[in-house]
Amino acid sequence: MAEKVILVDKNNKEIGFEEKMKAHIECKLHRAFSIFVFNSKKELLLQRRAKSKYHCGGLWTNTCCSHPRPNEPLHKAVYRRLKEEMGFNCSLKEVCSFMYKAVLGKKLYEYEYDHVFIGKYEGDPNLNPEEADEWKWVSIDELKRDIIKNAEKYTPWFKIILEKYLDKI
């Protein structure tokens, strides 16, 4: 059975469900979340998306990002997905939400109402190889410098969040 996403209007009101790939091909607005986990040194845990992912494979991004399932509360989806992708859980708090649209290539688009969560964790993740190939802790200053030099190595939503919403995380 194909995975579905929650379609929303521009006010984040649920309006239906759609098969995930179809929503990305037809550029339909859907609910998503992005998780940023920091350690006590204020370093951000990044993941490099698995090369096998249907979009943005091999790119660096925030700790975890995904979509809640139909009829799954957002506050439960973030914990489910963090455990599935990174192999750990920690306390999470929503800090902002925003809409964005990005062309991903391969006739795919992201059009998301994205909820941004932050958390704190000490230790190493246990990556799900279907989701992520690599991880690292990085300071925000180091990250900003690298994005200036190597913007193409990072996902579109991650760069948007860092550019427009860094003061909230």
pLDDT above 90 for 40: yes
All domains of the chain in start order, with CATH:
4-168 (3.90.79.10)
Sequence-distant (≥ 6) Cβ neighbours of residue 12 within 8 angstroms: 31, 97, 113
Catalytic residue among 18, 56, 64, 65: 65
Q: Which residue has the higher pLDDT, 164 or 32?
A: 32
Mean pLDDT of the chain: 94
Q: Which amino acid is at 61?
A: T
Give the pLDDT confidence score for residue 1 in this predicted structure: 67
The pLDDT tens digits for 81-103 are 999 999 999 999 999 999 999 98
β-bridge pairing 14-19 and 30-38: unpaired
Q: Is 65 a catalytic residue?
A: yes
pLDDT above 90 for 105: no
Sequence-distant (≥ 6) Cβ neighbours of residue 32 within 8 angstroms: 5, 65, 66, 67, 110, 112, 113, 114, 115, 157
pLDDT above 80 for 52: yes
Give the pLDDT confidence score for residue 124 in this predicted structure: 95
DSSP-assigned letter for residue 79? H
Average the pLDDT over 132-151 and give the result: 95
Say what the pTM is. 0.94
Catalytic residue among 85, 110, 112, 131: 112
β-bridge pairing 132-138 and 44-49: antiparallel
